[in-house]
Structure formats: C-alpha cells, structure tokens
Amino acid sequence: MAIEQVFNQHKRPLGVNEVLEFGRAIVEKLNQATVYRNLNNLTEEGWLNKIVHPTLGTLYERTGKGHHHLFHCRKCNRAYDLPGCALNEKEAAPDGFLLEDHEIYLYGVCRSCHNKSH
C-alpha cells in the first residue's frame, strides 16, 4: 500500500530508488527487494506501466495516462510526463514505411531547476 501511495502522491514516472526513498518516508523499514517485488506485481496487475528510458533506465508510472512522452531534466535527473503527442504519425515515416509505434524523449531543464538558477 505504501508503494501505491507513493505513485498517488508523485504524478510522474519514478525509478526504483525514488520509490524506495519516498516509500521509506511512509514505511521506515521498506527495503529494495520489497520494492522490486511490488513493482513487478503492480505491473503484472496492470496498475503500473514499465518504461525503459534510454538514460534513466527502468521507470514506472500509473497506467491510464494515454499516449504521451517524457521530459528528462538533466539537473535534477527526474522524468516528467508531457501531455499528448506532437508527432504527426502520418508524416513521420517515409512513403512505403509502416509506422507501428514511437517514443520521444525530450531533454533539458525542468521549471523548478530553471527557476533556482535565475
């Protein structure tokens, strides 16, 4: 229940270490094995989606968000959801190619980190 609470409090994709850190604020003795086991169970149950990010590795997020992309802040090293999709799939692939799916990852500095530097 603590892991579910973590995802309900943090509305963005989280890595295992983040889940462990935030989860320990709820259950002090939470360990990494318990986090991994529950992330796997919640993914199998369809409550979480597993994302493989090219820089951040494996992340987890709540299901039901629909198609969207991620923004990776290079300062705080966190991933954030971007609403919707700006890619026009009909124009993305050359003629004769069949586009089946896509992932787009944007990189930069999030609002919070940007405001701290100004």
Which tens digits make up the pLDDT trace of 15-67? 999 999 999 999 999 999 999 999 999 999 999 999 999 999 999 999 998 88
Alpha-carbon distance 88 to 52, whole Å? 23
Range of the domain at 84: 2-116
What is the structure's pLDDT at 18? 97
CATH number at residue 95: 1.10.10.10
Nearest to 64 by CA among 79, 78, 45, 77: 45
Question: What is the pLDDT confidence band of residue 117, given thresholds at 50, 70 and 90?
Answer: confident
pLDDT of residue 84: 85
User: What is the spatial distance between Cα 60 and Cα 78, in angstroms, rounded to a whole number?
Assistant: 12
Counting the structural domains of the chain, the total is 1
Residue pLDDT, tens place only, 70-115? 999 999 999 999 988 888 888 889 999 999 988 889 999 999 999 9
**Residue where the block lists tokens 């509305």:** 11
